Amino acid sequence: MRSLSEEEKRALVEAMRRALASGAWQRVAGLHGLPGDTTICGTRAIPSPCCPHSEGTGAQFLPWHRNYMVQLEEVLGLALPYWDWTEDSAWPNLFEELLPAIHESAGIDVIAGLNRHGRPGQCDPATPGGLAAYRARQGGVAHSDFLQEQPNYRRQVGLALTKENYREFTSQLSQPHNMVHNTNPCNLFPTLVAAWDPVFFLHHAYVDMQYAYWQELQRLRGRPVQVLEHSQPLRPFDNPQHNPVGSTLAASRADQGYDYRAAFCYQYDRLSFAGQTPEQFHRARLGLGTAAQCDASGACLGLELGDDVFVGVVVPRVAANSIIRFNLCSEGACVPAGSTATFGAGKAAAVTGPVSSSTHKLVEVDVTHVVKEQEWFESVLEGRLVESVFEGLPPPVVIMRAEDEPSGGQVALPAEQALRYGDLLERYQVDDFKVGEI
């Protein structure tokens, strides 16, 4: 976004204006959820949006949205820019002047965050605080909730990029993705109408760049990028009745879109994260390059040698939009240590029994910087939830792992308590001693 010239910005706005006038924009935006035809990917008896944010389709999340970005680019006839929300704290207000036209054409009021499919949003000028948020958005100022969480985004993406299998990578990458949706007002928050805010596509263009970056890392590591589900069709891109775009119809399976340059004829100006190319990131992980990468806020990628400390938070696989916050505690002293987020069309159902990997997942949040700041190097550590809409979840666990390992590690947890986590701790060594003792 920041590198766009004024001429390039004007061209994008005019292309979007034409797409709105022709109805092509509305057809693309509606595929993600509402008010599109929910029988395209569902049935009349069981309507379903096409976006894969639910159990059983999580493996298709990144490939589906890759095709979705291409779908809009074909309509615009231009490449989409990406909003690097790990670096850029400004709200990307490129398409703000077109929001009234979106409201008029589809009844999706992105400005006020009000529509017949959702609930009052944080930008409604008629609600307390809404007027200030609305004016901030128009002026390119990000919401205060986003700015509060932004220092964590680089750390979360960096952790995801260290993962060497697709399931762990996409699970971890979903966390900053979810948080961006949760901390920005208006139509980025309601899942089923999020794609009607054009910023959705700038956000997901960056998520796709992170996917491309990880693919290159996997090539350097000699590790695979595929999973079994990637041989299944990405609906509705496989259906010529609903997909007029030749490139996404031809590459309507995830594995057909791995080589995005060949399949979709696009590439990124550069693959870069925290100032590093994939090769530099990979060499740093091997101890062959610059060790630590930190920003002005002290948010590091965790690339220094030694043990890293994480808090593992149990979250439902199918969930409502929410932010879960936790403290890290030692000997009665507690400090805010991090957060994670859920994004989807599920419900905040209470947990009444043991969890399992079929219904829940364990998300890691790097808290090494908190341990260093508090100098809790030889302490008993404990994670405690302080904000969650999900009742009955097992408490967070503390994980210790050698810095050069991409996954696994030690979880300090009494054996009887470990039973509450079902099979979520299988990839860790569970030690029956004091919680978090390091």
Q: Which residues contact 33 (CB under 8 A, 6 or more apart)?
A: 49, 50, 51, 191, 192, 193, 194, 195, 345
CB 397 within 8 A of CB 411: yes
CB 324 within 8 A of CB 315: yes
CB 325 within 8 A of CB 339: yes
Among positive and negative, which fits the CA dihedral 261, 266, 271, 274?
negative
Residue 136 confidence (pLDDT): 81
Q: Show me where the domains of the chain are located.
A: 6-143+184-264, 307-431
CATH fold for domain 307-431: Hemocyanin; Chain: A, domain 2 (2.60.310)
By C-alpha distance, which of 350, 333, 353, 341 is closest to 313? 341
SS3 246: helix
Rounded to 5°, the CA angle 222-228-233 comes to: 120
Q: Residue 185 phi/psi, 5° resolution? A: -80, 180
Reported pTM: 0.89
pLDDT in tens, 301-342: 433 335 899 999 999 888 888 899 999 999 989 999 999 999
SS3 107: coil
pLDDT in tens, the chain (438 residues): 888 999 999 999 999 999 999 999 999 998 888 776 777 887 777 767 788 875 445 789 999 999 999 999 999 999 999 999 999 988 998 998 998 888 888 777 777 766 665 555 566 777 767 777 777 888 888 888 888 899 899 999 999 999 999 999 999 999 999 999 988 866 788 787 889 899 999 999 999 999 999 999 999 999 999 998 899 999 999 999 989 999 999 999 999 999 999 999 999 999 999 999 999 999 998 876 544 444 433 334 433 335 899 999 999 888 888 899 999 999 989 999 999 999 876 666 666 667 899 889 999 999 999 999 999 987 889 999 999 988 888 999 999 998 888 899 999 888 788 889 999 999 999 987 554 444
Residue 350 confidence (pLDDT): 62
> What CATH code is assigned to 6-143+184-264?
1.10.1280.10
Rounded to 5°, the CA angle 299-305-306 comes to: 100
